[in-house]
Copies of this chain bind each other. A is one copy, B any other.
Amino acid sequence: MTSQVRFEEISPADFFYRNRDLAGFTNPARSLYMCVRELVENSLDATEIIKVPPNVWVQLEPVDDQNERVLRLTVKDNGIGVEGDKIPKAFGTVLYGSKYGFKQSRGTFGVGGTMALLYGQITTNQAFTVTSSTGGKEIHEYRMMIDIVENKPRVLEHNVLPNQRKWRGTIVRVTLEGDYAGSRSKILEYFTMTAVVNAHANIVFVDPKYRTYVFRRVIEDVPEPPKEGKPHPLGVDVETVNRLLANTRSRDIRSFLTSEFQRIGPKTAEEVLRLAGIDLGKKVKEITHDEVTRLVEAFRNYGKFRAPETSTISPVGVKFIEAGLRAIYKPEFLHVVQRPPSSYSGIPFVVEAAIAYGGAIEPSEEIHLLRFANKIPLLYDEKADVSWKVISERIDWSAYKVQRGMPVLVLTSICSPKVPYKTVGKEAISDRPEIERELTIAIRECARELRLHLSRLEKREAAKKRLSVYARYLPMIAKNSAYVAETDPPDVMPLLKSIGVTAKMVEDEAKAIAEELAS
């Protein structure tokens, strides 16, 4: 009688295969952009972790005369490399990734890079290759595909090559279907913006027409990589506390608190436990579900924790932002601000902002906004981003002498072990009040400097105008006075020069008068 429902379990690879829009792979143009982006971001993370200046080579090649949409994407880096036996799983399993714990990184754990490879496979049915070495004696080269149903790698070929030059890095090569014509401008913008906040990186991009774009390193230093940190008591929920309890070496709850969390010393531990109504000496193994709930509740109500540690964050850096913006926009004015670390819900973050004016910046009705999060550019959904909200609603630009049609650029950067993205595609950041506040302060500080610059410009302009009045009329007055007095006109140039008027200015004004009379 009753119809039956059949059940099935699908693998994470299968889930993302069925719902690839969720990861930003929506159409052939956007998908190509996503593939480039995900692999480049993995490469930059791989160099940052060992603190070497990144050299990233990206190439898109046509491989099919019949179909210009079939392209081979190669991304090569000089990063940490992956050990031979770990390559298949690392590149052929969704939700398998480097265990970075609680610290800032560009990617989403175990999805982005593998999705790019998966996308290539499902659009072209071709295997991809990964070549990598950690700098030891061997280079490993795998040709493989992903078994989507099982979510595991299927190795088609594996070669071990001698590594005579001690090369270290990774090369990924994947054939995919993409619309380069439709994504070219986004991809180039992506590289340009990536270069702005990774001024220590060399990036070369060769497009399907073999046009080569070089984004050269403009600074030799390498930023300090983020470190892994312990969780802050305001950043955990019951699940996290349960995991920490399951893995701790501490025997009693007090030493558990002081050893597994940041910002909890013996005194704080006691106060929190009292608040939670838990015995100070309670054994970790005897902690009940109910007590864990009360502990988390007590964390939230305690109210006296110091702000989270910030060693887990690696902001872009004032020097890097300056170098990046100068290299690309050559602005006549530039001011960069890095705010002190702040936090939302126990998660630390650092906001940086810059305003640039003039140079290669196009005058525009709207202010140019460049957005970054954890050193990656955000190119979509600008109007949904907290930065747009701040520059369009929170800042009264007229108070800073900024008018429509001026060549003004605002850069914002947010770095955090957990960036509160609004969307899966990592494109817009939500308007957490703490982040909005920091952004507003940082941009206002830049805007004040810009106002000074614009005031100086105005003064210079006004002074120039004043001088041009002298340059125009003093010689005329002198000539007329001399005519009335029937003397030779005096030489007014020494006088004019003493107030800053040059012979050239006098000459220009004379010409201008002549033209005005003639017209």
Interface residues of A, Cβ cutoff 8 Å to B:
1-12, 14-15, 17-19, 21-22, 26, 49-50, 67, 80-83, 86, 89-90, 93, 95-99, 108-111, 121-126, 134-136, 148-149, 168, 237-239, 242-243, 289-290, 292-293, 296-297, 420-424, 430
The answer to whether A7 touches B98 (Cβ under 8 A) is yes
The answer to whether B15 touches A239 (Cβ under 8 A) is no
List of B residues within 8 angstroms of A10 by Cβ: 95-96, 109-110
Roughly how many angstroms separate A67 CA and B80 CA in the complex, as a whole number? 49
Instruction: Apart from A21-B420, A21-B422, A67-B297, list 15 A-B contacts with CB within 8 A.
Output: A3-B80, A7-B89, A7-B96, A7-B97, A8-B96, A8-B99, A9-B93, A9-B95, A10-B110, A12-B15, A19-B108, A22-B22, A22-B424, A124-B238, A125-B289
Q: List 5 A-B contacts (CB under 8 A).
A: A2-B134, A4-B83, A7-B98, A9-B93, A121-B238
List of B residues within 8 angstroms of A89 by Cβ: 7, 9
**In-complex Cβ contact of A125 among B50, B109, B238 (8 A):** B238
The answer to whether A11 touches B95 (Cβ under 8 A) is yes
The answer to whether A7 touches B135 (Cβ under 8 A) is no
A370 to chain B, nearest CB (A): 23
The oligomer's copy count stands at: 2
List of B residues within 8 angstroms of A121 by Cβ: 238-239
Kindly list the 10 A-B residue pairs having the minimum CB-CB distance in the complex, ordered from nearest.
Answer: A125-B238, A8-B99, A125-B293, A9-B96, A6-B99, A5-B98, A122-B239, A12-B12, A22-B424, A122-B237
The answer to whether A122 touches B2 (Cβ under 8 A) is no
CB-based nearest B residue for A430: B26
Roughly how many angstroms separate A421 CA and B126 CA in the complex, as a whole number? 28
List of B residues within 8 angstroms of A6 by Cβ: 98-99
The answer to whether A123 touches B237 (Cβ under 8 A) is yes
Roughly how many angstroms separate A148 CA and B240 CA in the complex, as a whole number? 10
Roughly how many angstroms separate A420 CA and B67 CA in the complex, as a whole number? 26
List of B residues within 8 angstroms of A98 by Cβ: 5-7
CB-based nearest B residue for A83: B4
A174 to chain B, nearest CB (A): 14
Roughly how many angstroms separate A83 CA and B7 CA in the complex, as a whole number? 11
Roughly how many angstroms separate A3 CA and B82 CA in the complex, as a whole number? 11
List of B residues within 8 angstroms of A148 by Cβ: 239
CB-based nearest B residue for A421: B21
List of B residues within 8 angstroms of A93 by Cβ: 9
| With A22-B424, A49-B3, A80-B2: A124-B8 Cβ-Cβ less than 8 Å | no
A18 to chain B, nearest CB (A): 7
The answer to whether B2 touches A135 (Cβ under 8 A) is yes
A117 to chain B, nearest CB (A): 13
The answer to whether B238 touches A7 (Cβ under 8 A) is no
List of B residues within 8 angstroms of A83 by Cβ: 4
Roughly how many angstroms separate A2 CA and B132 CA in the complex, as a whole number? 14
CB-based nearest B residue for A297: B67
**In-complex Cβ contact of A17 among B3, B7, B135, B239 (8 A):** B239
The answer to whether B8 touches A50 (Cβ under 8 A) is no
CB-based nearest B residue for A9: B96
The answer to whether B95 touches A15 (Cβ under 8 A) is yes
A116 to chain B, nearest CB (A): 15
Roughly how many angstroms separate A95 CA and B19 CA in the complex, as a whole number? 12
A70 to chain B, nearest CB (A): 10
The answer to whether B90 touches A7 (Cβ under 8 A) is yes
List of B residues within 8 angstroms of A109 by Cβ: 10, 15, 18
List of B residues within 8 angstroms of A424 by Cβ: 22, 423-424
Among A5, A99, A148, A420, the most chain B Cβ lie within 10 Å of the Cβ of A5
Roughly how many angstroms separate A50 CA and B5 CA in the complex, as a whole number? 10
A106 to chain B, nearest CB (A): 15
**In-complex Cβ contact of A5 among B18, B19, B49, B122 (8 A):** B49
Roughly how many angstroms separate A67 CA and B294 CA in the complex, as a whole number? 12
